[in-house]
Amino acid sequence: MPSHVPRLAAIDGLRLVAAVMVAAYHFLGTPTPHFWGRTELRDLAPFLHEISRYGWLGVEFFFVISGFVICMSCWGRTPAQFTVSRIARLFPTYWCAVLLVVALVLVSRVGHWPAATRIDPRTVLGNLTMAPGPLGLELVDGVGWTLWVEARFYLLMAVLLGFGLSYRRVVAFCAAWLLAGVIAVDLHSPLLDAFLLPRYAGLFVAGIVLHLMHRFGQSLLLWLLLGFAWAYELTVLELRVADHAGMPPGESPPSWAGCAAVLTLCLGLLALAGIGPPARLRRRWLVTAGGLTYPFYLVHQSIGIPLAKGLLRVWPGLGPLPSMAASVMFVLALSLLIHTTVERRLGRLLRHRLTLDLKKGHACPPARGQDALAPASPSRQRRSPPWPSR
């Protein structure tokens, strides 16, 4: 992020809230029968289970926050600088999480313990690209599908960066994206779905608009655009609710109204953090909490849940809830370790080296006779115009 942009500590805190929501869904809200043994979660902790059933909306909350943060991060950068920042920010921690899951699976094979993930060299290599799904491979890290959604959002922002960021261009981009999303939903085109992300366009646009309010101040135009984005998103939310409609006997599916209320509350919290009094918060612990978010999100399911089940297998009398608590504490400690060693040090090193490579490529002229697309020298241009004379 450019140094002149003040860090919004409240938004860092909201990132951790979104990660905790997703973790609560995976640990406590899952509808899978007998997930933690013979006792069902709805009987073991009915109140926690009922609340956590809506925790998957933390992913949607992440996308709204991402719209805000990525728009802020883009401002004042070139497409190349933005690409370097995203690679250095995402890949080191992601590679670490994938390799940790692979190590866990290999250890479980040696110990003849059941492993939920099956791996082979091709699957591991495909997952290291961060796009295993499009390559037809199984996810090593179950939550990794969201990173492919984020990557396509980054691509759209990089295209916008190529034209240069300005208030009017970003507003026009948001309006055009919403309109294109409506067309994609109407046409049911897999190609348009892949590029335009119609299920999530309203989330990203809402975050971008809130950042415009933060940077330029509130206006009727921005509030109308935010309203259209949210009306669009709550409409297509039914598609995401349907993905979670499969319920075991005796358990009702989540309601659209409940999901819409939770997601609207999340939008309200981000609005307060971006343009309300919490935007002035300067608490270092919130920044630290935000730093833990990405590694915690990546490892809580693929490492935290197998660990909790392993504890139950070794000590059956421990009980599901204490084993979950112990697992979450371990995952938080692991996330702190990944954040301080991999995300900070390796990410900073990767950013530095990629930036140097970009400067080197910009400074060095192409070798003679090797760049067929380079413009001709002035003398050659006079002798051989690049266009046919009339």
Burial class, 231, CB count within 10 angstroms (exposed 0-12 / middle 13-18 / buried 19+):
exposed
DSSP per position, 212-265: HHHHH---HHHHHHHHHHHHHHHHHHHHHHHHT----TT-PPPPHHHHHHHHHH
**How does residue 362 score in pLDDT terms, banded at 50, 70 and 90?**
low
CA distance 364 to 196: 37
Tens of pLDDT, residue by residue over 95-137, are 999 999 999 888 877 765 655 567 889 999 999 999 999 999 9
Q: Does residue 24 contact residue 47 with C-beta atoms inside 8 Å?
A: no
Tens of pLDDT, residue by residue over 188-207, are 999 999 999 999 999 999 99
φ, ψ for residue 140, nearest 5 deg: -75, -40
Residues whose CB is less than 8 angstroms from the CB of residue 261 and which lie 6 or more positions away in sequence, other chains included: none
Which token pair is 357?
Answer: 């490579």
pTM of the model: 0.87
Question: Three-state DSSP class for 102?
Answer: helix
